[in-house]
């Protein structure tokens, strides 16, 4: 490969992100073929189906088997409306059923946590550091302790992989979520469905993404940098924490 710099071509070596396909077979029927980055195929399949409303609890998965690029899953409950067999890609989005979103709790979050978790995602995104062509997402507990980080060519896939990890590890919400890509309507729904009360994004959010987050009560922080960020929805969790710090500093009791 070559780079063009200062009027000259220079030969350099670049590592490119790998791409694979995973076919999901649910209760004996092909449902979908996902384009993804190799690794965490079980988490990806489980998370996609769970957030898509195919099943409600991990106990409903009677058995699963992965062989090569196929993941077979048998679900005790109905498989819902199902998803036509087709190939998804990074920017295409996926049409699927919606998992019912439980009411998200109101918890105060330290004002610097969106910055802190975004920084931890940046430091832990090793594939991005090598290729500069892959998305990342990281899951945290409410205090900002990282639980897991996933990378994938598809930003939606990173969330599905985290959701699958939640199921396998039996982690309980509420969670914080840091993502590298923009927050779309589907990303907001997935975050809410997995129990994330806050999303910290390096980039921006779409109008529908913000509307969906507001509907579910997810706090959205965009353009997160070391010096600050924008709060697009549900600022109360962060403002309440800051107000409490001010109250504690001056020693005044008041309701916030």
The string of pLDDT tens digits covering residues 74-126 is 998 665 554 444 444 444 444 445 667 888 999 999 999 999 999 999 999 99
For the entire predicted model, the pTM comes to: 0.87
What percent of the chain shows pLDDT beyond 90? Answer: 73
**Residue 26 parent element (H or E):** strand 20-26
pLDDT at 91: 42
pLDDT at 92: 46
- What integer best gives the mean pLDDT of the chain? 88
Q: What CA–CA distance (Å, rounded) separates 105 from 146?
A: 20
Q: Is residue 189 over pLDDT 70?
A: yes
Residue 66 pLDDT grade (very low, low, confident, very high; cuts 50, 70, 90)? very high
For the chain, domains (ranges, CATH) are 113-245 (3.40.140.10)
pLDDT at 176: 98
Query: Of the candidates 147, 146, 156, 135, which has an alpha carbon nearest to the alpha carbon of residue 51?
Result: 156
Q: Is residue 251 over pLDDT 90?
A: no
Residues 6+ apart with CB under 8 A from 251: none
């Amino acid at each position: 490969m070559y780079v063009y710099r200062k009027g000259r071509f220079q030969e350099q070596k670049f590592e490119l992100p790998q791409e694979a396909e995973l076919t999901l077979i649910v209760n004996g029927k092909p449902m979908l073929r996902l384009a993804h980055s190799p690794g965490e195929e079980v988490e990806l399949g489980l998370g996609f189906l769970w957030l898509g409303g195919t099943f409600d609890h991990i106990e409903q998965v009677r058995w699963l088997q992965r062989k090569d690029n196929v993941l077979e899953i048998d679900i005790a409950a109905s498989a819902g409306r199902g998803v036509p067999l087709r190939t998804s890609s990074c920017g295409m989005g996926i049409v699927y059923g919606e998992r019912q979103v439980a009411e998200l709790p109101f918890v105060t979050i330290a004002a610097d946590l969106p910055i802190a978790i975004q920084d931890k995602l940046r430091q832990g995104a090793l594939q991005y550091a090598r290729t500069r062509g892959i998305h990342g997402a990281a899951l945290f507990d409410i205090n900002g302790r990282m639980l897991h980080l996933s990378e994938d060519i598809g930003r939606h896939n990173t969330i599905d992989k985290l959701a699958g990890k939640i199921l396998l590890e039996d982690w309980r919400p509420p969670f914080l979520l840091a993502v590298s890509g923009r927050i779309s309507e589907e990303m907001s729904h997935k975050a809410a469905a997995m129990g994330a009360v806050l999303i910290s994004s390096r980039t921006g959010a779409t109008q529908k993404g913000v509307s969906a987050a507001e509907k579910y009560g997810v706090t959205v922080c965009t353009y997160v940098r070391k010096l600050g960020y924008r709060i697009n929805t549900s600022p109360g969790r962060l403002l309440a924490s800051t107000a409490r710090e001010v109250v504690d500093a001056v020693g005044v009791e008041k309701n916030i």
